[in-house]
Chains A and B, each alone.
Chain A
Amino acid sequence: MTSPLLEIDGVTKTFGGVVAVSECSMSIREGTVVGLIGPNGAGKSSVIDLVSGFEQPDQGNIRFADAEIVGKRPDQISRMGLIRTFQSPREWRDLSVIDNVRVGRRDLDRDSLWRSIFAPRRLRRLEEQESGELSDLLVHYRLDAVRNQRAVGLSGGQKRLLEFARIAAAKPRLTILDEPMGGVNPVLGERIGEAIRELKRNGSTVVVVEHNLPFIERTCDEVVVMDLGTVIAQGPFAELRDNKRVVDAYLGNDDE
């Protein structure tokens, strides 16, 4: 068996005495769509922050694509192919829609000055190819009509789709979505489910944090359940119902 794409091993994180994540371990296999669920305050968002480098764990290891990533900065981790979103979309407000998608690309030509002098024709060809790909993405996510507008003026739904266009442009190995269904109407919800399946078809592994469990059931291959900062179950959604720890986590335990 190949090693998992993401492996979290015994990770603990405290914030001023509050234990947000406690000896948490989980592994995500490449090519799967995994729902990360659990009651409020279970530590889901903290785990995402740790994995994406926005916070550093007090203890434990995190391996992504066979490399230890504890200690790395968010930009280093994203360049390795791990992309995350936030609960509310974060776009470059003053950039146009197409430029927002363009900066999503990982392989921005950092040596373009050199190229423009010594290989101008090759550069032009690359640019044309890139702009064709970007146009296709904008059409695909129905952002073509607003491609030159500033992102700040988009509707909430368009901002969500812009997020998926940026992810698609970046071609990440692992995409972590933090509540993609927040404030989303049912029609757009269907589109987001489809966008997640497309990410999977295009080879990305996807982790979805979401409270909307019907959506998780429809969209994910398996689920990881967290409570009190640690993983209490991992497996198919259908098995949750018979797991006492999961039921107790969701309904509360009144025995203490």
Chain B
Amino acid sequence: MTETVETPVVLRVDKVTAGYGGSPIIEDVSIKVYPGKITAIVGPNGAGKSTLLKAICGVIKTTSGHVFVLDKECTNFAPEKMVRHRLAYVPQVANTFPDLTVKENLEMGGYTRKSGVAERIDELCELFPDIRQALRRKAGALSGGQRSMLAMARGLMLDPSVMLLDEPSAGLSPLLQSALWEQIEKVAATGVGVCVVEQNTRRSLRHAHWGYVLVLGKNRLDGPASELLHDEEVIDLYVGRMS
């Protein structure tokens, strides 16, 4: 993508290499996320998509490369420090506190806020209509779809500039997936840069503005999501001749 000075980047990942101790899972991966836009990270199983998110938000250490949030270098910051630098990460599992109520979950999400917790909860209830009616319920009693919404809302409590979503629609029915994607679009429309990892490549490209295809831990292709959606090369990268 041609970069212009006027286009601010909320998240820039530059040639990051990371893994879990053994041989690296992702190598020299670079991505950019823009405010108010949805960036989709897609690729076959084992591409390293979730690993990339973990490396960005500090859950695992990178061995080389750089991570910038709002032009400030945050490489290998601990997750709690990343949160203060306005990066929210919503993991695929264990993303809510099941024994706490929805409201308490949101309050936990706003733990580092100095003030305005109640106001922020109110704003998020406007954004997520499902959540207002469930405020007093235990998070563990929510449906899968509601829980995904809560996890996102919890991540938004700190007014992040960028939000990383790891497979938010995993385990949801196609209907709920559509609802969830609508919600992700609403979140992006508030100005947050959203970076989504999803298994369903076509669905995420349909909703994203830019897509990155990772294969076996490396950048292989990127471009406007609407173009990638119909790009035969994407199919080749998944199931075409490899050699």
Contact = CB atoms under 8 A, between A and B. Distances in A.
Contacts, number: 67
B238 to A, nearest CB: 4
Looking at A247, A250, A256, the one whose CB has the most chain B CB atoms below 10 A away is A250
Interface in B130-145: none
Contact of A251 (B22, B45, B201, B216): B201
Interface in A235-256: 238, 240-241, 246-247, 250-254, 256
Nearest to A42: B45
B98 interface: no
B200 A254 contact: yes
Contacts of A250: 44, 201, 238-239
Contacts of A247: 235, 238-239
B14 to A, nearest CB: 24
Interface in A135-180: 156
B164 to A, nearest CB: 19
Interface string A198-229: 00000000000001111001100000000000
Contacts of B234: 251
A185 B22 contact: yes
B172 to A, nearest CB: 12
A254 B203 contact: yes
Nearest to A213: B242
Interface residues of A, number: 24
B45 A246 contact: no
Contacts of B235: 241, 247, 251
A212 B238 contact: no
Interface string A177-193: 00000011110000000
* Consensus secondary structure, chain A interface: helix
Interface in B9-57: 20, 22-23, 44-46
Nearest to A210: B46
Contacts of A213: 44, 238-239, 242
Interface string B170-214: 000010000000000000000000000011111110100000000
Nearest to B232: A241
Contacts of A246: 239
Contacts of B203: 252, 254
A39 interface: yes
A241 B20 CA distance: 32
A166 to B, nearest CB: 21
A253 B45 contact: no
Contact of B242 (A40, A217, A251): A217
Contacts of B199: 39-40, 252
Contacts of B200: 251-254
A254 B46 contact: no
B240 interface: yes
Nearest 8 Cβ contacts at the A-B interface: A252-B200, A211-B46, A214-B242, A185-B23, A211-B45, A254-B202, A256-B174, A183-B22
20 contacts: A40-B45, A184-B23, A213-B238, A213-B239, A213-B242, A214-B216, A214-B242, A214-B243, A218-B243, A240-B239, A240-B240, A250-B44, A250-B201, A250-B239, A251-B202, A252-B198, A252-B201, A252-B204, A254-B202, A254-B206
